[in-house]
Amino acid sequence: MDLVKRLEEYRDRERELMWEGIFAEYFEIASKKPAVARLSHERIYQMIMDAGVETAHTGETHYKFFQDEIFGIEKPLQQIVDYFHSAAQRLEVRKRILLLMGPVGGGKSTIVHLIKRGLEAYSRVPEGAIYAIKDCPMHEEPLHLIPYELRGDVEKEFGLYIEGDLCPHCRYMVDTQYRGRIEEVPVKRISFSEKYRVGVGTFTPSDPKSQDISELVGGIDLSTIGEVGVESDPRAYRFDGELNIANRGVMEFVEMLKTDEKFLYVLLTLSQEQNIKTGRFSMIYADEVVVSHTNEHEYQSFVGNKKSEALQDRIILAKVPYNLRVSDEVKIYEKLLKQSALQNVHIAPYTLRIASIFALLTRLEPSKKAGMSLMKKLKLYDGEDMEDFKQKDVRELQEEAVREGMDGISPRYVINRLSNALIKNNVTYISPIDALRALRDGLDQHTSITREERERYLNFINDARKEYDEIAKKEVQRAFVYSYEESAHTMLNNYLDNVEAYCNKTKLRDPITDEELEPDEHLMRSIEEQIGVSENAKRSFREEILIRISSLARKGLSFDYTSHERLKEAIEKKLFADLRDVVKITTSTRTPDKEQLRKINEVVERLVAEQGYTYESANELLRYTGSLLNR
């Protein structure tokens, strides 16, 4: 990387963003590209849509704008985008505050952070270009310079919708400096930046006794009063409150419901009338998105307060629960771990998955459906069909649960405990068992769980451990079966010969004695039972296999034991069951003989090369599996 060259390119791009001209030139730009004069809600909606949209096979909409940071909460994101979509049409919903409510660590502040950072980046590309009256402290829309009498004709001829009025600072400048010649007023292109306080603001509540309302709406500039004489002169006022500088962009109200009431009153006028009342001035128009976030306890207290009914009526609530899909929970931890400096510590396969299973078990609500355990529900939510439940049951399960995802262990707790395990001395890798141990040990330090919850969470750790036991056996099973792949092909051919004879109602011929034999029902059932194929379902399963063979043959492809996922699983399980004693002896013996050592090394190499283990974690997996098989 040539840093000097890259810096030159960066400065060239910055110069392109520093366009300046007069209003007449800006109007020509806006008449050709009306999008530059979009209102704040429409700008954010278009920013999200320009990033791209995909529809999953389940019908869920995925917005690429959020996809690298937010996982597993598509419905809340859909609700948030719907809010911006409605507001972009200038419907009444744009005059509401968007309030994100949910448990700690659920992603509320991350969503707001993405919108703020996204706006900053979007204002720097041609599609998101935005212009303002030069030197205006509120980054005024230049079209506000057009008198009300002319706006109807401008909209009719050029398609430019104009809403709002000039701020006191700009009105004074136009009247005194330009004598009403608005076409000569200077205009420049701006880039939103929270750092430079342009279009992006953040208000954080603090001690109500010391916090001043001027932090929101600006205040009198005492140093200029002596020069201008009166406090009502625009030159004597600092338009530098968070609501002022966030005009045309977004203002994050951190933990809004923890704020003193006097700060909330300002939002009443802003949300409904889109005006800010400051000092001795008339109402100041402001076009901005106000987004806040809070937890459920604070929200319930707010709703129960009759004094706050007016503000409640001006809020759009979006619930942001915890993610409820294991695969998405894993993505959350992968994202957080990538940001750390612990790149040299190996995280063994399934470590994050097992930690995710524990976290999700604490968030799920028990179902009233017969035979529906939390573990089954967890797998269904993750897209995995069960024997007696399918994906079509998911919607019913979701409707049955009232508060699912609003309680439980947060991703923040899990990542804290994983971090604790990762930084221990001489740790080169952590396994699923290490993760469960760290999660269990941290429950005593968890400040917000009761004794009853702790006992329940310990049971969930045991459930996650049992799930890992099955996964560990399958991992070793796959690695061992590879060493016996020839045996797997032989077993498959025997099975297929018998299935073909069974379905065609013919007999088999013994290759040695040449006598005719009935299909070997015992062999077929011993394989099919490995994956739960019932006696009643065996015919349809066998016919399905023959149809798959025929389909592949028409395409010129051959059928092997990996061509049918369920049959592959059945063959592997059957072979592993037959090899169980061999595996048990090989993995658990303290002094393996030469043949056993060769077999262990083959399995370890397989685990390292294809399953993502290191030699240390692969050997631990073998030791652990050996102990399971010897129980």
Distance of CA 625 to the CA centre of its chain: 34
HSE-CB of 92 using CA atoms within 13 angstroms: 4
Using an 8 Å Cβ cutoff, are 30 and 48 in contact? no
Cβ count near 311 (within 10 Å): 20
**Both tokens of residue 530?**
């490995």
- The DSSP string of 187-223 is EEEE--BTTTTBSEEEE----TTT--THHHH-EE-HH
**Residues 163-198: tens digit of each pLDDT:** 999 999 999 999 999 988 999 999 999 999 999 999
- To the nearest whole number, what is the mean pLDDT of the chain? 88
Cβ count near 52 (within 10 Å): 11
pLDDT confidence tier of residue 290, bands split at 50, 70 and 90 = very high
Higher pLDDT, 37 or 230: 37
All domains in the chain, ordered by first residue: 17-319 (3.40.50.300), 326-470 (no CATH), 484-583 (no CATH)
Over range 344-356, report the average pLDDT.
93
**How far is the C-alpha of 561 from the C-alpha of 570, rounded, in Å?**
10
Q: Which helix (H) or strand (E) holds 318?
A: strand 315-319
Question: Which of 238-252, 320-334, 494-508, 571-585 shows the lowest per-residue confidence on average (mean pLDDT)?
Answer: 571-585
- Tokens 């430079």 correspond to 196
Question: Which of 50-54, 367-371, 572-576 shows the lowest per-residue confidence on average (mean pLDDT)?
Answer: 572-576
Angle between helices 74-88 and 40-50 (to 10 degrees): 130
- Is residue 512 predicted with pLDDT exceeding 80? no
Rounded to the nearest 10°, the torsion over CA 83, 89, 92, 94 is 50
Over range 358-369, report the average pLDDT.
94
Q: Which residues are 293's β-sheet partners? A: 100, 254
Question: Which of 108-117, 175-184, 355-364, 620-629 shows the lowest per-residue confidence on average (mean pLDDT)?
Answer: 620-629
* pTM value surpassing 0.95: no
pLDDT confidence tier of residue 631, bands split at 50, 70 and 90 = low
**How far is the C-alpha of 390 from the C-alpha of 392, rounded, in Å?**
5
- Is residue 158 predicted with pLDDT exceeding 70? yes
Cβ count near 619 (within 10 Å): 17
- Is residue 344 predicted with pLDDT exceeding 80? no
**Residues 230-240: tens digit of each pLDDT:** 777 888 888 88
Q: What is the pLDDT of residue 203?
A: 92
- Is residue 558 predicted with pLDDT exceeding 70? yes
Using an 8 Å Cβ cutoff, are 600 and 622 in contact? yes
- Is residue 210 predicted with pLDDT exceeding 70? yes
pLDDT confidence tier of residue 588, bands split at 50, 70 and 90 = low
- Is residue 281 predicted with pLDDT exceeding 80? no
**Residues 413-463: tens digit of each pLDDT:** 999 899 888 887 778 899 999 999 999 999 988 877 888 999 999 999 999
Which of helix, strand or coil describes residue 508? strand
From 394, 401, 67, select the one nearest 81 (Cα to Cα): 67
**How far is the C-alpha of 415 from the C-alpha of 420, rounded, in Å?**
8
**Both tokens of residue 628?**
């399971």
From 290, 287, 266, 314, select the one nearest 116 (Cα to Cα): 290
pLDDT confidence tier of residue 342, bands split at 50, 70 and 90 = low
Q: What is the pLDDT of residue 303?
A: 87
HEC profile of 559-606: CCCCCCHHHHHHHHHHHHHHHHHHHHHHHHCCCCCHHHHHHHHHHHHH
Positive or negative CA dihedral for 108, 124, 154, 173? positive
pLDDT confidence tier of residue 40, bands split at 50, 70 and 90 = very high
pLDDT confidence tier of residue 250, bands split at 50, 70 and 90 = very high
Over range 518-523, report the average pLDDT.
90
How open is the CA angle 168-41-197, to the nearest 5 degrees?
50
- Is residue 585 predicted with pLDDT exceeding 90? no
Q: Break the chain down into helix, strand, coil percent, rounded to 5.
A: 55, 10, 35
**Residues 461-489: tens digit of each pLDDT:** 999 999 999 999 888 877 877 666 777 78
**How far is the C-alpha of 614 from the C-alpha of 609, rounded, in Å?**
9
Question: Residues of the chain with pLDDT > 90: what percent?
Answer: 51
- Is residue 19 predicted with pLDDT exceeding 70? yes
